[in-house]
Amino acid sequence: MSSRSPIVSSQIVKIPLERVGALVGKEGIVKNEIEKRCSVALSIDGSTGDVQISYDNASLKEGDPFKAQDVITAIARGFSPQRAFNLFEQGKGLSTIDLREYSGKSENSLARIKARLIGSDGKARKLIEQLSETAISVYGHTVSIIGESDKTKVAEEAIVKLASGGTHKAAYQMLQKYRSKQKLERLQLWESQKPPEEREY
């Protein structure tokens, strides 16, 4: 950023050491992409996991330094860079649930909750993703969700239901109900945009 205006601000995001490689990417491709899209400079300390995000006045006009933090956090929470880059899409955000709120201090309880959320061969997680149209990562003691606000909210409800001991059936039924409602609303919107003579009454 030497040719740009002086740095006006910076912030530190700490990521697990095992996720540093994913953030950097082969030959720095992931790091460079984040810097380019968000108009920031990243300084990654591979020994501590500290990631410094630096930006200047031009960054605030040309890019979104705060989106860089979300993308880095998503990668830190287990998302692949490709899935984390979904956050660059308009309206997409990141939400994280701390499973320790439901497991307490018991590692065994945490492991059971994570197993329920992931399911056999990842089927539970994939089904929640499909029905809510979100991306989900179960990593460490957290579950993170990437999606549009309303879709993220319903995915959160399903995850909390399972983490609190609810059945998979109840969680899936809630998601199916939401999905059916979304389809109906899209159909109604499509119908309302037709010329009056083509509408079905």
Express each pLDDT in 39-59 by its tens digit: 999 999 999 999 999 988 776
Looking at per-residue pLDDT, the higher value among 196 and 138 belongs to 138
Q: Quick one: 104 and 154 in the same domain?
A: yes
**Domain containing 37: what range?**
7-88
Q: Could you say which of 88, 120, 141 is where a domain stops?
A: 88
Q: Quick one: 107 and 57 in the same domain?
A: no
* Number of folded domains that form the chain: 2
Q: Quick one: 76 and 101 in the same domain?
A: no
Cβ-count burial 44-71 (b if 16+ within 10 Å, e if not): beeeebebebbbbeebeeebbbebbbbb
Q: Quick one: 111 and 182 in the same domain?
A: yes
Distance CA 194, CA 201 (A): 12
Does residue 2 form part of some domain? no
Q: Quick one: 34 and 14 in the same domain?
A: yes
For residues 112-128, give the mean pLDDT: 96
Q: Quick one: 107 and 79 in the same domain?
A: no
Q: Quick one: 21 and 57 in the same domain?
A: yes
Q: What is the pLDDT of residues 141-152, one digit of tens each?
A: 999 999 999 999
